[in-house]
Amino acid sequence: MTRFYCVADLHGRSDRLRVLEAALNRHQPDALILAGDVLGFRSAARHNTYFSNLGLPVFCVLGNTDHPWADRYLPVGSRMRILRDERIRFQDVDIVGISGTVPLPFHSRIGIRETGRVQRLMGKIDRNTVLVCHPPPHGVCDKVMGRFSAGSKAVARIVRQCRPAVVICGHIHEAAGSNLLDATRVINCAMGPKHQGWLVDTAPNQPLRILPVSVES
């Protein structure tokens, strides 16, 4: 079994970093997945060093408030990897990470708007993939003010066509939680007062096991 601790939207806040450290110590995951808005645009070097020193592999995608070239600030020998539209294998798990906001219905500094890019991503994703991106797919875990869907239609299209095992995302803080898009589990792991991320346990030929993390858990 491979255990991931998944969080998003830390925004470099010290209180959220303390929660993250407590969860790592308690649950002992095999790797940390960061689904965007974690490094801070102005403090990429400092936060890259912080995450690189946590003592476990860290897989990160960039969100709309992250420095677009944050990987330039990674220390030599870092165990942190920023994923840019690539597929990697960790233990027995295939992970595809999409950095950017993929495109949302409003302007973003690093939004993905090219149809060709979406098509290339689809060629890397299958039903066993853990897909990591910053925005949720449109219509799932993406409600603003409980009414308006603000997720990415491109991500929704990718999920419907490729049917990955799970989507790890964030961005819409108030919609943190988990739901299904067709057969795919979507987890919005944005951190907030009531949400401290999710544990995702994977094993070959076994169903996913997911567990929300709270201060008490």
In DSSP notation, 138-202 reads: TTSS-EETTTEE-SBHHHHHHHHHH--SEEEE-S-GGG-EEEEETTEEEEE-B-BTTB--EEEEE
Residues near 11 by beta carbon (within 8 Å), at least 6 away in sequence? 37, 38, 40, 65
Q: Are strands 31-35 and 2-7 parallel, antiparallel or unpaired?
A: parallel
Closest by CA to 188, choosing from 135, 138, 149, is 135
Give the residue-averaged pLDDT of 125-148: 93
CA distances from 132 to 7, 18, 32, 45, 193 (A): 11, 23, 12, 22, 23
Confidence of residue 75 (pLDDT cuts 50, 70, 90): confident
Helix (H) or strand (E) holding 26: helix 14-27
Q: What share of the chain is helix, strand, coil (3-state, %, to 5)?
A: 20, 30, 45
pLDDT for the residue 110? 41
Percentage of residues of the chain with pLDDT beyond 90: 58
**Domain ranges within the chain, ordered by starting residue:** 2-212
For the 2-212 domain, the top CATH level (class) is: alpha beta
pLDDT at 11 over 50: yes
Measure the CA–CA gap between 102 and 15, rounded to whole angstroms: 28
Q: Are strands 143-144 and 209-212 parallel, antiparallel or unpaired?
A: unpaired
